[in-house]
């Protein structure tokens, strides 16, 4: 399912976000030939001739019986899904533990672009909200072709934000998305779990389906630094801690996992899909998680 040519490290060098989005999605869909996913629309549109090697699931056996020819049924695309991407631009998203890996924000941008491309390819409506302590930019959901360029234009120039107040932001965004739809939150979730869950509850209360892509850097997870390190907070410039990570690694990992477990538990309780990915994870994982959710919804 993964595309070896499109690792996060590689797409970082591609530059153009539209190209990234197209390559990621096309590569992903090509790989879907062997997957159980085979189309998303439900309304019949037309027939087309079967080409050897294609799946026979959508073969119209009635036509074959009458004409002795193989035709596949092609379904028309539905456009009733309104998906809104919420991309966290807070300062903590600018972190990367390795110069060869994209920052969390860049990774979120690539993933958001790929998701937008995929959604629009299916004629779903896509919207975008970027935020740090407060909403920064908002692109209302549309299903037009040119919507992709609107979204990519914002994603291509994600601002460097300040601190994270995710709970409050979610509440404010929820108020501004009145129609039910799919909320795709891309964030490191660096805030108090209670406040985050409170915001997510708001979306659920409004009837939204929510998928949370928690994007973390591997170094944040394992604290894999050696020697004496002076850490400076990205969200609170000037605040520093000097330590030997090797001495604290075990305790840190325990505490970090405890925090993530809380998030998992609360998300599950609120029927929110939590997708934990790190910036060295291929984008297909994010896209696959979205497709699973889409399939459950329709």
**Segment interacting with other proteins (CB under 8 A) among 72-80, 110-118, 134-142, 237-245:** 237-245
CB burial string 37-76: b at 16+ within 10 A, e below: eeebeeeeeeeeebeeeeeeebebeeeeeeeeebbbbeee
Q: What mask of x and - would describe binding to other proteins in positions 96 to 135, judged by CB under 8 A?
A: --------x-------------------------------
- Pick from 114, 148, 223, 267 the residue near other proteins by CB under 8 A: 223
**Segment interacting with other proteins (CB under 8 A) among 16-24, 109-117, 149-157, 234-242:** 234-242
CA distance 85 to 100: 26
Residue 215 binds to other proteins (criterion: CB under 8 A): no
Please name the residues in contact with 104: beta carbons below 8 A apart, sequence gap of 6 or more: 92, 93, 94, 95, 96, 188, 215, 216, 217, 279
Residue closer to other proteins by CB (options 46, 244) is 244
- In the complex, what is the shortest distance from the CB of residue 89 to other proteins, in angstroms, rounded to a whole number? 13
Residue reference for tokens 């505490």:
255
Residue 221 binds to other proteins (criterion: CB under 8 A): yes
Residue 159 binds to other proteins (criterion: CB under 8 A): no
Binding site for other proteins (CB under 8 A): 92-95, 104, 188, 190, 217-236, 239, 241-252, 255-256, 259
């Amino acid at each position: 399912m993964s595309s070896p040519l499109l690792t996060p490290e590689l797409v970082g060098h591609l530059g153009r976000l539209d190209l990234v989005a197209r390559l990621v999605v096309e590569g992903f869909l090509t790989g879907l030939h062997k997957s159980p996913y085979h189309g998303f629309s439900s309304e019949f549109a037309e027939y087309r001739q079967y080409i050897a090697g294609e799946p026979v699931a959508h073969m119209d056996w009635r036509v074959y019986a009458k004409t002795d020819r193989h035709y596949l049924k092609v379904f028309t695309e539905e456009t009733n899904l309104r998906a809104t991407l919420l991309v966290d631009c807070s300062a903590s998203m600018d972190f990367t533990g390795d110069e060869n890996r994209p920052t969390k924000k860049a990774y979120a941008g690539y993933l958001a672009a790929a998701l937008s491309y995929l959604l629009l390819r299916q004629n779903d409506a896509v919207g975008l909200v970027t935020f740090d302590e407060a909403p920064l930019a908002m692109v209302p959901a549309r299903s037009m072709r040119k919507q992709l360029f609107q979204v990519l234009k914002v994603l291509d120039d994600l601002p460097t934000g300040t601190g994270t107040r995710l709970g409050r932001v979610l509440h404010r965004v929820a108020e501004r998305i009145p129609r039910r739809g799919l909320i795709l939150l891309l964030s490191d979730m660096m805030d108090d779990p209670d406040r985050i869950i409170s915001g997510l509850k708001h979306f659920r209360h409004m009837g939204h389906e929510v998928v949370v892509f928690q994007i973390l850097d591997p170094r944040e997870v394992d604290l894999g630094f050696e020697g004496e390190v002076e850490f400076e907070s990205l969200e609170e410039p000037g605040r520093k801690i000097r330590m030997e990570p090797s001495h604290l690694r075990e305790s840190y990992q325990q505490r970090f996992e405890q925090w993530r477990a809380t998030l998992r538990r609360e998300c599950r309780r609120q029927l929110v899909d939590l997708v934990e990915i790190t910036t060295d994870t291929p984008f297909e994982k994010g896209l696959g998680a979205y497709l699973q959710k889409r399939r459950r919804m329709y």
